Chains A and B, each alone.
Chain A
């Protein structure tokens, strides 16, 4: 750490591809920009530290647009909006580049900003450039009209596993060396708020590094070594996973993939039983943020699996990286359409979209009829999906 720069600002992303774990929001905002001026404004909403402002900045960078920002520190009453924002929405930008307007933290438009929201609505009507807004709680009643006028893009709280990966990357670049469990703990503590996690990381970075076993060993174990220790050597269980940068959740996926390579029949069933129990504790950690349960996940995930067989294994096994996540990710791209169609259908026929998803195959011939597609206001992409 050689300067006082805030880590969250220093590593603010600039490209869509850098924004981890928000694929859906990125897709939606891309569509919004593509279809402009079909919708004049979009609201990025979600908990703090999920990347709302970062996404807005990425939109500008990706499209080579100038960005005009108005945030909570500016006065946002009617007069100010009329004075600053309105001309900007109508004028050409400097150097004839296109531009977008970013109204950060509209939550902050409060009682003192008299007439702020009605003026904002008027500006949205007349603007020649896309307006992006960020907001934590979009469901406040003062936003009800604004909601109906804007495209809503949800940013979800990031899972701890994602945050812990990002923390580790930043720590590497900053030369902050800590045991892997430290990142997992910070990630869980942050409850999905990446900015808070990065701030935490920064505040701990100056503390002297505690010298423990994993630090002394000073070599990073590869995942292959770790798998071998679980399956074959059967020792060092308690700090087995401290010697890797990989998170417990990631290791769980590796074990899941490779258990059948080592065990058959009864041992196989026992090993998956142990893995299943590790996963139950993992679920409890996530649900209640009670990371005391980490020790249990840890033990079932190491010794639990290892003792599926009475004697340790020998020989060499070629382990393989987990394939499941990739497969699911690829499939989710396809599923998105099915979800959006089901949602539209569900609204029309008074049922839940889950129910519509379940009946999808049955409904497909009906959904393929042009008249019904019109009635459901299906998009071109959705109609294309139904042809397959």
Chain B
């Protein structure tokens, strides 16, 4: 029974041949691996397009069954500081690789979460251990990675998966799991996952945990239930002039769904364009949204800043702006 596994792992490709999409990248990476000598690599691209998968395939191809001993995976957005990263890298790189490959591999996921200072330190670490360790970095935008690191890596840009690629993955899984999918499911999964293969598979598994016979309405229902609700309600209260209720609702939504201020600001930024206000006001509000989002990345208090934004929605409700 496939119910006992997490599908994104169970069906993660473990060979080059099993990967869908990114064929150009695959060809080049494969030839590097066959020569048993990979340079530092930088994988840039949207979530769910195969960056981690390819990193795992590389180490499996290089080290065979011994890949676990020769591979270290770190997530920059979870590790608290560059010092931890450096120490872990040091501990790992001190011993030699076990197989006939002269180096070990470190995969640093979400490297764009590192500050510029941390990236400078990382660059030194990469240099110091280059004989014993190769780095594979992944990020969403390569522009967030400092130039000196980019210049030390071979950069591969992952494209958003096409509908036929995601559909291929979904088809394989549904056959193995003996699911019956109606034809429009593929389109729905692709749309609501926005091309993110991990999300599409999670969505399929969440739906399959309810029924084996799946149509697109069920997918939509599950997707909608997983979306944080209430942001629109918050904005509507603010637009109607009821600031206090809007604020209480906002805190309630954030706490209940445990979403961060940055998540909220992204949702608000999208929602602005669906509101019944003058386009000119929409533009002003969007400018404000951008400023508030920037302040949050700078370390300001998320809720204080969101309240300032809510107050300008009250004004917008009367057709005005600050």
Contact = CB atoms under 8 A, between A and B. Distances in A.
B258 interface: yes
Contact of A363 (B77, B206, B307): B206
Contacts of A357: 258
A115 interface: no
A352 interface: yes
Contact of A279 (B4, B5, B47, B304): B304
A256 B304 contact: yes
Contacts of B113: 352
Given A269-B322, A283-B299, A275 B304 contact: yes
Nearest to B87: A139
A265 B318 CA distance: 9
A260 interface: yes
A8 interface: no
A360 to B, nearest CB: 8
A214 interface: no
Contacts of A276: 292, 295, 300, 304-305, 307-308
Given A287-B299, A357-B258, A366-B205, A140 B87 contact: yes
Given A140-B87, A358-B263, A365 B255 contact: no
A362 B219 CA distance: 11
A219 interface: no
B315 A269 contact: yes
Interface string B26-69: 00000000000000000000010000100010000000000000
Interface stretch (B154-162, B180-188, B196-204): B196-204
A287 B301 CA distance: 12
- Main SS of the interface on chain A? helix
B91 interface: yes
B87 A362 contact: no
B302 to A, nearest CB: 10
A362 B298 contact: no
Residues of A in contact with B, size category? 35 or more
Contact of B255 (A264, A328, A366): A328
B152 interface: no
B251 interface: yes
A144 B310 CA distance: 49
Nearest to B202: A362
Contact of A280 (B56, B222, B295): B295
A348 interface: yes
20 contacts: A139-B88, A140-B87, A260-B247, A266-B320, A268-B243, A276-B295, A276-B304, A276-B305, A279-B295, A280-B295, A283-B299, A283-B301, A346-B75, A349-B9, A350-B109, A351-B109, A361-B225, A363-B206, A366-B205, A369-B3
5 nearest interchain CB pairs? A371-B4, A276-B308, A139-B87, A362-B226, A272-B311
Interface of A: 139-141, 144, 252, 256, 260, 264-266, 268-273, 275-276, 279-280, 282-284, 286-287, 324, 327-328, 331, 335, 338, 343, 345-346, 348-355, 357-366, 368-369, 371-372, 375
Given A283-B295, A358-B263, A366-B205, 6 more contacts: A269-B315, A273-B322, A351-B52, A351-B198, A361-B225, A366-B206
Interface of B: 3-6, 8-9, 47, 52, 56, 73, 75, 77-78, 83-84, 87-88, 90-91, 94, 109-110, 113, 198-199, 202-203, 205-206, 209-210, 222-223, 225-226, 228, 241, 243-244, 247, 251, 255, 257-259, 263, 292, 295, 298-301, 303-305, 307-308, 310-312, 314-315, 318, 320, 322
